[in-house]
Amino acid sequence: MKLSVPIRVTAAAALLAAGLVAVPAAAAAPPTAAAAPDIPVANVQAHLAELNSIAEANGGNRAHGSAGYQASVDYLKAKLDEAGFTTTVQEFTSGGQTGYNLIADWPGADPDQVLMAGAHLDSVGSGAGINDNGSGSAAVLETALAVSREQLAPAKSLRFAWWGAEELGMVGSRHYVDQLPADEQAKISGYLNFDMVGSPNAGYFVYDDDPALEKVFTDYFAGIDVPTEADTEADGRSDHASFLSAGIPVGGLFTGAGSTKSAEQAEKWGGTAGDSFDPCYHSACDDTANIDETALDRNSDALAHSIWELSG
């Protein structure tokens, strides 16, 4: 058979041109790193309104062991199932009551490299827990839903997690890491944690445990001209702690809890010097009014950026 191709074309190219062999994946154009979408903050706020309603309908909180916690898991799981995630509810026991972690998987090209992002979904008993930690939970949820909307085809596999019983001592996340076999732990290339990302008197803190993960966030904030500080309050105080102990690289964002904003911090970030970053921390007033929407928006967009950037 005669191939009507120019004489200097290689044999392989001739076969390709003649349609006789499939184009190997490696011959495709180099992947262009698609930019993360802008996360609509109105969607994140809608999740917070729903979590607040759930608390109101269930005695005012979403604490471990309560009907409000169960309803929170049900709300997120339904959204994730509808979006095409593979969801798992993992049970554990703490204080004599059953707790639940919610895990949502989105497979990538490589099942042996997993990028994780998570947030605790439980509140304390004294309030609805909208900044602590509806904010992180809703930002992770809306990022996961954006992955589905964009039908992201990442190189690494993505796993989103919502932890139970953080407020009882980071119980759910520790259970997850402890029960994970060593070979599964080794697949996790990084864990990103989001615990309080809409504080009403916000600071912009980036976990400084891993330089490469930290840089993804600090570069993002530099790009929108928002100064950040390395998080010094974070160490060991949220769900990344168990991942860190297991030797997994961790990163994350935090807008501040009960400690006081300094004059220098108010100068660069706005807000009120001498007040707590979150004056309603662990209080009944941690409701939908206890959110700085600008901080919630920036941190949600930074979260999405980190997922797109780090999943390849």
The catalytic residue positions are: 166
Shortest Cβ distance from residue 109 to ligand TRP (Å)?
A: 32
Q: Is 58 in the site for Zn ion (CB under 5 A)?
A: no
Residues 241-300 that bind Zn ion (CB under 5 A): none
Q: Which of 195, 231, 286, 287 binds Zn ion (CB under 5 A)?
A: 195
Residues 131-170 that bind Zn ion (CB under 5 A): 132-133
Q: Is 132 in the site for Ca ion (CB under 5 A)?
A: no
Alpha carbons within 13 angstroms on the beta-carbon side of residue 230 total 9
Of the candidates 175, 249, 266, which has an alpha carbon nearest to the alpha carbon of residue 209? 249
- Alpha-carbon Rg for the chain in angstroms: 22
Helix (H) or strand (E) holding 254: strand 250-254
Q: Are the C-beta atoms of residues 138 and 51 closer than 8 Å to each other?
A: yes
Shortest Cβ distance from residue 259 to ligand TRP (Å)?
A: 8
CA distance 130 to 52: 7
Shortest Cβ distance from residue 68 to ligand TRP (Å)?
A: 16
CA distance 212 to 137: 24
Q: Is 146 in the site for Ca ion (CB under 5 A)?
A: no
CA distance 15 to 20: 5
Of the candidates 83, 86, 1, 90, which has an alpha carbon nearest to the alpha carbon of residue 43? 83
Residues 175-234 that bind Ca ion (CB under 5 A): none
Q: Which of 195, 209, 292, 297 binds Ca ion (CB under 5 A)?
A: 297
Q: Pattern of binders to Ca ion over 242-281, x per CB under 5 A? A: ----------------------------------------
Shortest Cβ distance from residue 78 to Zn ion (Å)?
A: 23
CA distance 101 to 242: 14
Nearer to Ca ion, 101 or 255 (CB): 255
CA distance 157 to 153: 9
Where along the sequence are the contacts to ligand TRP (CB under 6 A)?
Answer: 132-133, 166-167, 195-196, 233-234, 237-238, 254, 257
Region of 2-10, 64-72, 239-247, 289-297 interacting with Ca ion (CB under 5 A): 289-297
Q: Are the C-beta atoms of residues 245 and 238 closer than 8 Å to each other?
A: no
| Among Ca ion, Zn ion, ligand TRP, none, partner that 257 touches (CB below 5 to 8 angstroms by kind) | ligand TRP
Of the candidates 136, 119, 242, 144, which has an alpha carbon nearest to the alpha carbon of residue 185? 242
Residue type, 249: P
Residue nearest ligand TRP (C-beta atom): 234
Question: Do the strands 110-120 and 188-194 form a parallel or antiparallel pair, or are they unpaired?
Answer: parallel
Q: Pattern of binders to Ca ion over 8-47, x per CB under 5 A? A: ------------------------------xx-x------
Q: Is 209 in the site for Zn ion (CB under 5 A)?
A: no
| Contact positions vs Zn ion (CB under 5 A) | 132-133, 195
